[in-house]
Structure 1
Amino acid sequence: MREKDQYCPNKKYVNQISAPGREIMEAHKSHTDIKRVLFMDDRVPLKNLGAGYPRAKRILQTITENGWFITFYPLYQPNLADDWQDIYEAIPDTIEVIRGYGINKLERFLSDRAGYYDVLFISRPPNMMKINKLYNKSPDLFSGLKIIYDAEAIWSIREIQRLKIQRKAIPEKVAAKCIDNELALAKISHTILAVSNQEAQYFKNAGYNDVHVLGHALAANPTLKNFEERKDMLFVGCLEEDGSPNVDSVMWFTSEVLPLINADRKERVKLYLIGKNGARALRRINSPDVVLLGTIDDLTDWYNNCRIFVAPTRFAAGIPLKVLEAAAHGIPVVLTSILESQLSWRHEQEVLVGDTAAEFAGQCKRLYNDSEAWQQLRENAINRIISEHGIIHFANCLEKVLNS
């Protein structure tokens, strides 16, 4: 392994001729009480990455805090674009990162480190598909490993929803087969992690027994301003890719929902969009009521100043972190029934729900003008964050899964 491809704990580079990281292996083998995890994902969860990476970052941090040694193996190849400083600003510097190997060199890597790891932790369906192929070819490489599949999301559900919105819906039997094929990726795993009760049930219905829900870890930190001190609406999410759930939702909201909200208002309501915004579709937005702010590191002031948060998502999988973060900061949310189901939250209890443009606009106007409903939703959502997505709850669940 080349020097630039591997960065080791305590930020020391290792020159290696044969088996990669032998110095690390020998050092850790001398401490038999240390348990070791080989963690596989697309890439290191750098700062400002969305799409499930904040959750991956929290998982890595929590496993490290629980005393495990982690090797992070990015499966994208060559994966050399990330700077070492950026990597170790994002994750603990005790984590060994194998960079530049990718899926093509994974067989060699596992062979070189046979018997070294206790747990193989694989995140996301495309990565699990790659591991399945290698497992079917060389099952001995995985001997002695507890395999944890972190599904992150059932991607086929999102794709089926997207096709339906675009009026390209596929037959129900075909859709069910797509979901079944994705669930079958878990067949080589010992334990499955799902991000929501809804998606966990899919795996249980498919016959898997050891299924756990591991959502997001958040601290409730409600901002201070009251209803009257706030105005306007907020959306937070990555808007880089045309056709993505976030871009689709923003284009739908700005073209069909926002005009209905402002149709009969003297003081117009603005929508502030925060997040990377390179999608070309955004150029079609031509409204003085829409403000694209780009990436902002600290969102506290925006959570404190805006009155409502909107999540007009029309197709999605997993669990909406942006909604949880908004709720944790005390800004009530209007969302679609897709997100309501994913969260297992309730209309008029923790959130307001609308699916058509008229419904969504109506709920936004209702929440924007009703201080009593605003306060009640805010309090209820904060309580759900504390009870279901607390940091301690997250850590205990992960520790149980690793040690069971």
Structure 2
Amino acid sequence: MLPDPRYHWRRLGSRLHRLRLAVHARGWRGALARLAERPPAPADPAAPGRPEPAAPLPAAGDGRRVLLVDVSTPRPDRDSGSLRAFNLMRVLAESGDRVEFLPDDRVDAGAYTDALRLLGVVVHTGAGAYPHWFARHLRGFDVLVVSRYHLAEFLVPLARRIAPGTRIVLDTVDLHHLRERREADLGGDRRLRRLAAITRRRELRAVAEADVTWVVSPVEAALLREALPQARVEVLPNLHQVEETPAGFAEREGLLFVGGARHPPNVDALRWLLAEIFPLVRARLPDCALHVVGDGLAAAVAGLPLPPGVRLHGHVPDLSPLLRRCRVGLAPLRFGAGVKGKINLCMAAGMPVVATACAAEGMHARDGVELLVADAAAAFAEAVARLHGDEALWTRLARAGTDNVRNHFSFDSARATIAASFPTARC
């Protein structure tokens, strides 16, 4: 049975909405540039810093058969969401589930696709259109995990018609409407606030239609449960492994900011950091260097005067040398949602962080215990200078930060959520 063809119109509406947001946020030139983007050339699969694949697993077994759908193949060395998706599939495969992945763009991402296959994941590149592919294959899956509401809003109704017995999980990654609303509030932008309200209605509808919804933090879980008391919402956090022998205070120096330019909160944070925060830090620490890592950030701050000491690295496939060498991580985000992977990365590497309250949201972290929190430029700079120079404070926060990752962002945390969300494994 082929599904209702109206799903095509729902998908078109979703893409038009995303284009309208891009036009509003970046102008027509920025939107057209985004439409013209191509996936980056895959990195050398043997390059250091690429996710270490587990031993290949058999393609079949007694576990549940799980299909994951996302906009593209995860690129774990490029963004936090990709690292979370990659590690989620790793956890599922290591648990004995039969994991398959369908990228919405259908593109073979080279080494990134190969890394999934080394985990035992079956990757469907070059697959046909959803109605025909789902009609042929979906009934064979126990679970369908759809990432992001704008894919779910047309895939969930399609899946319900074709395979009503398949458990459907919506992985929000972060609450898009919350991020958009906060951006609108920061800039006092009424048009963006209206767009955020539209996104909220669509996102809540997608949550209501799923069997289970995953969010990355208890804060977002509480927001959804208040808006939709009948919805089943579970917390699936970012997934990280802690560095067991991190470098100590004396082996480190300088500051680290990580974040790609495709995520608007990162661009705003970096501009604020360069314009208002780092010059105050340099006044206190004249020799302090700021290392800036992320795809497209150099272009995003082109034309801005760069304070002395700024090092623009662009995309760095292997972050481990900088994570061992820098002393303080920075997360000066003024809007956003979800859990901040840049904080997880630093904490997991034994590097304490200075963050805004927005960035620290959902991290299970307390000001002065696991990290330092400051929202004004002068207070943020003061916290950075203090943490960079106080070995006792630095050591205490570094240890508490790694404990935080172990306790709240481990693979074991994911397994508990999966067990609560999925049907019982086959015997």
TM range (shorter): 0.7 to 0.9
Letter in 2 for 1:272: H
Q: Where do 1:3-402 residues align within 5 Å?
A: 33-76=62-105, 79-80=106-107, 82-83=109-110, 85-92=111-118, 94-101=120-127, 105-113=129-137, 115-132=139-156, 134=158, 139-169=160-190, 178-205=199-226, 206-221=228-243, 223-239=245-261, 241=262, 244-265=264-285, 267-277=286-296, 280-285=299-304, 286-402=306-422
Partners of 1:319 and 1:343 within 8 A in 2: yes
Identity over aligned residues, as a percent?
A: 26
Tell me if the contact between 2:258 and 2:293 (Cα under 8 Å) persists in the aligned partners.
yes
CA displacement at 1:379 relative to structure 2: 1.6
Distance 2:83 2:221 in 1: 20
Confirm or deny: 8 A CA contact 1:233 1:308 kept in the other structure.
yes
Would the alpha carbon gap of residues 127 and 171 (structure 1) be closer, same or farther in structure 2, given more than 3 Å must change?
closer
SS of 1:52 mapped into structure 2: helix
Match of 1:288, SS? coil
Q: Which has the higher contact order (CA 8 A, sep 6+)?
A: 2
DSSP 3-state at the match of 1:280: helix
Superposition RMSD on alpha carbons, in Å? 2.5
Shifted more, 325-334 versus 112-121: the winner is: 112-121
**Structure 1, 372-381 or 88-97: larger mean CA deviation:** 88-97
Deviation at 1:326, TM superposition (A): 0.5
CA contact under 8 A between 1:303 and 1:331: conserved in structure 2? yes
Distance 1:259 1:388, change over 3 A: same
Shift of 1:122: 0.7
Change (3 A) 1:120 1:98: same
Change (3 A) 1:369 1:170: farther
Counterpart AA for 1:106: Y
Q: Tell me the CA shift for residue 391 of structure 1.
A: 2.0
Residue type at the aligned position of 2:247 = K
- The answer to whether the 8 Å contact 1:223/1:303 transfers is no
Separation (CA, whole Å) in 1 of partners of 2:182 and 2:318: 32
Give me the whole-angstrom Cα distance separating, in 1, the residues matched to 2:356 and 2:380.
Answer: 8
Task: Give the 3 Å change call, closer, same or farther, for CA 200–298 of structure 1 in structure 2.
Answer: same
Q: For residues 120-153 of structure 1, what are the alpha-carbon distances to aligned partners after superposition, in whole Å with 9 as ceiling and x for unaligned?
A: 1111121112224536xxx421311111111111
State the SS of the aligned residue for 1:345. coil
User: What are the Cα deviations for residues 206-239 of structure 1, in whole angstroms up to 9, with x where unaligned?
Assistant: 2135321110222221554332342211112223
Query: Aligned with 1:148: secondary structure?
Result: strand
Partner Cα separation in structure 2 for residue 174 and residue 53 of structure 1: 26
Contact residue 60 and residue 91 of structure 1 kept, 8 A: no
Secondary structure (helix, strand or coil) at the match of 1:40 reads: strand
C-alpha contact (below 8 Å) 2:246/2:349 kept by paired residues = no
TM-score calculated relative to the size of structure 1: 0.82
Contact kept, 8 Å, 1:247 with 1:279, in 2: the verdict is no
CA shift at 1:90, angstroms? 4.1
Match of 2:14 in 1: none
Return closer, same or farther for 1:55/1:91 CA change in 2, 3 Å cut-off: farther
Query: What whole-Å deviation, never above 9, does each CA across 1:91-136 have from its counterpart, x for those lacking one?
Result: 536322222347xx1111111125311111111121112224536x
Q: Letter of the 2:418 partner, please give it.
A: L
Q: Is the 8 A contact 2:174 2:338 kept in 1?
A: yes
For residues 51 and 389 of structure 1, what CA distance do their matches in structure 2 show? 13
Work out the CA distance in 1 between the residues paired with 2:136 and 2:371. 51
Alpha-carbon separation, structure 2, partners of 1:202 and 1:303? 33
Partner-residue secondary structure (3-state), 1:113: helix
- Equivalent position SS for 2:99: strand
| Structure 1 letter corresponding to 2:68 | F
- SS of aligned partner of 2:318: coil
Q: Give structure 2 stretches of 5+ with no counterpart.
A: 1-58
Deviation readout 1:266-309 (Å, 9 max, x if unpaired): x3311001222355222234233110122333333322221111
SS of 2:388 mapped into structure 1: helix
